Chain A
């Protein structure tokens, strides 16, 4: 197993390098730092001096790949590529445009993000799987039909409307919870309840349908017929046989996103004013803070690759046929 993990890690490295190169090309080759500076300082009234100062403040006043003026090894290290891209592998993201250290900011904001994302994920998984199992239990009845209709209808509503509608109804009309904001400690559930519920609700439609399809595919297999023939009750068939055997497709879709929970949800956090990584990213996008966006892209890819590895590991837990070879 360790050999397998090491091999997977080695395989992950070229992917991360690829991600790094793509983002580098996007941010520094498509537009030169001069273009970015001109845009940020306002295109019209901008002097070459101001551009130079802007670049120097942010460390963009170096050559891209090769610094001919530097000495020895610094020919390669005293460049934008090394400073902005290679250093990311050591999780050194530098400073944001407002001068704050990005790594520290990320550490601070991880907590609120997880406080929203983990309950949403767990509750969502529980609700959708049980809902899908219920639809399968009552398959080919009116309940199943209308359940699927409800799912398709819910899928067709933009997540923005769930949030806007929920905030309006629960916070503004019924005054049950604050409309937005965040506080740690005992007060947290009051602020978290609504975003979590809305996050779950927005995903119910599509995931339920997806699980239902998986379960239906599994339920027409021979072993299920055998189990029924033995006289096993339908409920036991569903939970003991179908659910267990449907684990592989479920895990494939679910485990990958677990590490990405750290990143938080962009729109939920921004609507509810939660100081997590999602709203950090949105703020960075809106204020065009490129170093933060690059850092988030890199972290996102690292987490995704970790997710892929976890998925493979989880297969061995649920399916004894899967071995690491």
Chain B
């Protein structure tokens, strides 16, 4: 009996990502239980900007999660085969959903929504003679019988269909939200306690765009194709996962280091403080990019010299991504650590901590029960603020050549590949524009959320 199925593959970054996801949920439950954290998060939800940014980030997160569920598909069974054999290629759920975009590879560049190639090629005419012309694309607009006349109307028809689907989804979401938040009228007037209307409007815009994109993607390369004919829209969506990984996994390293060392330095003082301060001054004094460059170069040597550790190409580039996150984390915990140290210094002198000490509460308990919870607002603010910076850093690092693996889709590699093409005439602009749009929306949402979170959590309350 042969099973046709798939074999789940958990890459290291997937494991870390989902671990972080679970930690986030536990943190969320904890925040829900503690009154003052809940109040702060409530303040985030009351601001329309906060809700809109959250919705956008959740949309990106969905793409990232879909792209993090990896598996190896079973190959079609051969005669006499008793066990399933799995493909060496590791795919994600997103790859499966975008099967069409992934496999429909053109020969080379083609413009967004084009039906014909971007460069002239020698084509054979029915009569046997040859002519230099723009050949039809193999997949983009291949369903059209008359690409010249039908092109525009087909695109419009698809847009309308997609938009209609988006509207339906939007109305459904509105009704559902209306029921959940107590009354459609309140929702539309924006009278709900949390800014649900902003969330709904944002979600509707996303649904509308997604509807049109999906409907167009069935027949065209929405953002064109790149040099080797890959669909740019697909590559851009793949980049989202890389950006999210860099932005979130780095905190797996920063947070423990910064919290542990910051609290230790602030609470114990003396030689512990001196040692920790020395450590972060040393790390701080090395210019960030250079330290990252040095570490990444050495990691490349290490990976190069141990090819036997990585079974597939995906595992290899994945290891590189994880290593990059760790390196970014090790080089960027110092700022938060210094903040936490300063705050702990203040907390240590407060009456309730003194009282706890006088009652003989064990030190570990004081740190966990009385100091750490009062540092959480700084941690949360730093967490959200760092995210956008890390996403931007990835692009620059990949440009310098010390970012993710060149074969891995990321905003940095997209920009890097597209940069060279600007010199061409006519210009190939679509990869850049598509990377720009997605990256801008992601970083903007993160920045806006960071602002709202800071306003809500900062006790100084500007």
Contacts and interface: CB of A to CB of B under 8 A. Distances in A.
Nearest to B299: A30
Contact of A35 (B301, B395, B436, B440): B301
A281 B290 contact: yes
B399 interface: yes
Interface string A140-157: 000000000000110111
B300 interface: yes
A26 B399 CA distance: 22
B11 to A, nearest CB: 23
A266 B399 CA distance: 10
Interface string B256-292: 0000000000000000000000110111111101110
A152 B422 contact: no
Interface string B70-111: 000000000000000000000000000000000000000000
Interface stretch (B140-148, B332-340, B356-364, B442-450): B442-450
Given A22-B282, A285-B402, A300 B448 contact: no
- Interface residue tally on A, bucketed by range: 35 or more
A258 interface: no
A39 interface: yes
Interface stretch (A53-61, A107-115, A158-166): A158-166
A239 interface: no
Given A26-B298, A290-B297, A153 B285 contact: no
A51 interface: no
Given A156-B443, A266-B289, A164 B415 contact: yes
A202 B129 CA distance: 54
Interface in A8-56: 14-15, 18-19, 22-23, 26-27, 30-31, 35-36, 38-39, 43
Question: Looking at A19, A160, A288, A296, which has the most chain B CB atoms within 10 Å of its CB?
Answer: A160
Given A15-B281, A30-B302, A160 B396 contact: yes
A300 to B, nearest CB: 4
B261 to A, nearest CB: 15
Nearest to A284: B293
A121 to B, nearest CB: 15
Interface residues of B, number: 46
Given A31-B302, A290-B297, A305-B285, A152 B400 contact: no
B285 A36 contact: no
B219 to A, nearest CB: 30
B342 interface: no
A161 B438 CA distance: 13
Interface in A62-120: none
B307 interface: yes
Nearest to A271: B419
B400 A285 contact: yes
Contact of A297 (B286, B415, B422): B286
Interface string B419-438: 10010000100001000100
Contacts of A30: 298, 302
A15 B301 contact: no
Interface in B177-221: none
Interface string A283-294: 001101010011
Contacts of A152: 444, 447-448, 451
Given A31-B305, A282-B400, A19 B287 contact: no
A296 B297 CA distance: 14
B381 interface: no
B254 to A, nearest CB: 18
A293 B290 contact: yes
B238 to A, nearest CB: 18
Contacts of B411: 158
A183 interface: no
Contacts of B399: 160, 267
18 contacts: A15-B282, A22-B286, A31-B298, A31-B305, A35-B302, A156-B388, A158-B392, A158-B395, A158-B396, A160-B395, A160-B399, A164-B432, A167-B422, A168-B422, A263-B287, A266-B396, A266-B400, A288-B297
Interface of B: 278-279, 281-287, 289-291, 293-295, 297-298, 300-302, 304-305, 307, 388, 392, 395-396, 399-402, 411, 415, 419, 422, 427, 432, 436, 439-440, 443-444, 447-448, 451, 462
- A-B interface, 6 closest residue pairs, ranked by CB to CB distance from nearest: A18-B282, A300-B287, A156-B444, A156-B443, A301-B285, A304-B285
